[in-house]
Structure 1
Amino acid sequence: MRLAGPADRSCGEPPGIVPGVDPDLHFLHLDGARALYTSQVEAVLAGLERAAAAESMMCVSGPAGCGKTFAVHAALTTRCDLAAHHVPLRSNPGAEDIRTALHHTLAPDKPRPKDPLAADTAIRATLRTHLRVLVFDEAHQISDSGFEYIRYLYDDLDTRLCVVLIEGQKGHGALRRQQMLHSRTAAWLHLTALPPDEARHAVPALHPLWHNTPIQALESADARYARGNLRRWAALTDLALRVMARTGHTDADEAFLHRLIDRLDTTLAPRPRRP
């Protein structure tokens, strides 16, 4: 499946919708929100294709709310030929935690063998059947022993494995310090918020509330509050809908938007300058 991405659109055309991705997972349970094919999704999909073809690793980093996890989910949805597994981990997981999480992810209907060697044998046998993509979110929290266990599975000559590591903002640089990743990683991606020219068209596509809002009002709100961060736009949309339902207000104009923003925390790192 190939979706129209930013490179396929004119600057005045809204982003496409990613079918099969539940926006509810990413946008605050916001009723009516849509899963958008943004430049972040496009970048992650390109990186995923390189990593999967090489049966290698991909590392994705970026500030909170910029769409890292969403972009990975969306990219994997477009590559329905890949068997993807999102591995849930507790904070600061070690080798034993990852062993247990992998067993429950790959074989949810089977009890995990108590013996670590037997558990490893079962996991490796599963990873040898066909190419699998293992996704680890908040990967900067993985301990050294956890990374060593991932390396142990990856370096098995018979396993077919692509590993996607998503690094949170507070762990910036943590993956770069892992020497085991450097020779095994096909793509290092750092995602940023949407640039203004993309955000101005993404916001109306994100939710029907903004379909009739003047573009100047959206640009003003984006510059003051969201700065290309779709998670912040989801929060603003949710607040607007609740206020409208309570007060009967129907016009999402610039004055209304800025009254809402006055009630929100506008603190956010400045949008990075592009070279």
Structure 2
Amino acid sequence: MALPAGAQLVRTSSVRAVAEAVGQAMAVQGAVCVFGDPGRGKTAAVRMALSEIPPGWKVTWVPVPVLRPSVAGMRRAEFDALALPGRFPHTSALADAAVTGALGEARVLVVDEAQRLPVPCLEYLQCLWDHPGTRITLVLVGAGSERALSRLPQLASRIGAWQEVPRLAGAEVAAVVSDFHPLWRTVPAPDLMWIDRSCAHGTLRRWAALTAHLQNALLTSADAVVDRALLRRLFKRVAPPL
């Protein structure tokens, strides 16, 4: 699967690895688990990897219900994510028939925040995947999703790829954040390393938050300068006090 334009927003290596894992799973209608600590860019990597897929395939993102995920909630989430016509069926049998019918065409089914799914919900996804009428590549994404899957060994044993999105390594910082936003291209590499050690700690989500605060500071103050004094003030907005 080709890497999409803009993949530099998350480490190219991470996007490439996710794209390779998902592409291989699509070839066999398999399953992939994308995991890693919070803020590492897992969801972004999956979105970029799936922004260009082979003709004839569709991608559906299924949100995990916020409160106490249940099979009934997942069934409704699937129905809504597939944008099926008409009202949600009044029986589970009719709802399942509508969902499995829609999943009869080649489709990547992405479940984000999969770590919040209890075993019955994981079993429901496995049933959809195993159904003889569906053509699904299942992608489970989330910090701790690999631990959630360990609660259902019959599904975990069939995951074709366990793809970790690792923390941003120190040697990668300057190149990655310079591509992430042009603001950082004017900051010397040693200062970028200092920012990462002092605040971001290899977490892309913190770099994104810091970028937003820095943009705002530069827009609202005509004499603002990107120096360590300003950055130290912004660090306090990005990370909670210890």
**Structure-1-length-normalised TM-score:** 0.79
Change (3 A) 1:177 1:107: same
Give structure 2 stretches of 5+ with no counterpart.
none
- Counterpart in 2 of 1:161? 136
In structure 2, C-alpha distance between the alignment counterparts of 1:105 and 1:265, rounded to whole Å: 34
Aligned pairs, number: 240
Tell me if structure 2 keeps the 8 A contact 1:151–1:180. Answer: no
Tell me if structure 1 keeps the 8 A contact 2:111–2:141. Answer: yes
- 1:89 deviates by 2.3
Q: 1:112 aligns with which of 66, 85, 88?
A: 88
Change (3 A) 1:118 1:238: same
- Counterpart in 2 of 1:237? 211
- Counterpart in 2 of 1:198? 172
- Counterpart in 2 of 1:138? 113
In structure 1, C-alpha distance between the alignment counterparts of 2:237 and 2:88, rounded to whole Å: 49
SS at match of 2:196: helix
**Structure-2-length-normalised TM-score:** 0.89
Letter in 2 for 1:17: G
In structure 1, C-alpha distance between the alignment counterparts of 2:96 and 2:120, rounded to whole Å: 15
- 1:66 deviates by 0.3
In structure 2, C-alpha distance between the alignment counterparts of 1:264 and 1:71, rounded to whole Å: 22
The question of 1:72 aligning with 2:46 is answered yes
- Counterpart in 2 of 1:50? 24
Letter in 2 for 1:51: A
- 1:80 deviates by 5.3
- 1:259 deviates by 4.1
Moved more, 175-184 or 62-71: 175-184
Moved more, 186-195 or 104-113: 104-113
In structure 1, C-alpha distance between the alignment counterparts of 2:234 and 2:130, rounded to whole Å: 52
- 1:62 deviates by 1.1
1:113-170 Cα deviation digits (max 9, x unpaired): 1121111112112212x2111111111211222111112111112311111111225x
In structure 1, C-alpha distance between the alignment counterparts of 2:120 and 2:229, rounded to whole Å: 54
Give structure 1 stretches of 5+ with no counterpart.
5-15, 19-33, 269-275
Tell me if structure 1 keeps the 8 A contact 2:169–2:202. Answer: yes
**Which 4+ stretches in 1 moved above 6 angstroms?**
none
RMSD over aligned Cα atoms: 2.3
Instruction: Name whichever structure is richer in helix by fraction.
Output: 2
The question of 1:148 aligning with 2:123 is answered yes
Tell me if structure 1 keeps the 8 A contact 2:117–2:148. Answer: no
- 1:250 deviates by 4.5
Change (3 A) 1:113 1:199: same
